[in-house]
Amino acid sequence: QLWRACFPPKAPLDTKKPVDFTRLAERFDLSNTAISDAVFRAAASAALREESKRVITMKDLTEAAEIERQKARGGAAAMDNLFV
């Protein structure tokens, strides 16, 4: 899976509520680059928390993936406008 492959082995993933990589893949049809960007964005969000809460959560990934999906749609819309 692309989502799982974007994480380094020691990435601090939430163990209390494990990340559902299958659900992410089914919900977000993103390019490899967008998935990688979403993982980086989620990790950055986690890094800004207090030390005891610095884990990457499903919520972090879902929010980051939604941002990447919106970016992709915005880019497609901009391209569509070029040919009007």
CATH code of the domain containing 69 = 1.10.8
- What are the DSSP calls for 3-71, one per residue? HHHTS-TT--B-SSS---HHHHHHH----HHHHHHHHHHHHHHHHTS-GGG--B-HHHHHHHHHHHHHH
Tell me how many domains the chain contains.
1
pLDDT at 8 (0 to 100): 87
State how far the Cα of 55 lies from the Cα of 19, in Å rounded to an integer. 11
Could you give the CA distance from residue 83 to residue 77 in angstroms, rounded to a whole number?
10
The fraction of the chain above a pLDDT of 70, given in percent, is: 88
| Predicted structure pTM score | 0.84
What's the whole-number mean pLDDT along residues 72-83?
63
Give dist(CA 16, CA 68) in Å, integer: 26
Q: pLDDT tens-digit profile of 10-49?
A: 999 999 999 999 999 999 999 999 999 999 999 999 999 9
Q: What percent of the chain has pLDDT over 90?
A: 79
Q: Could you tell me the residue range of the domain that residue 59 belongs to? A: 2-82
Q: Give me the pLDDT at residue 9, please.
A: 87
Q: What is the mean pLDDT of residues 42-60?
A: 96
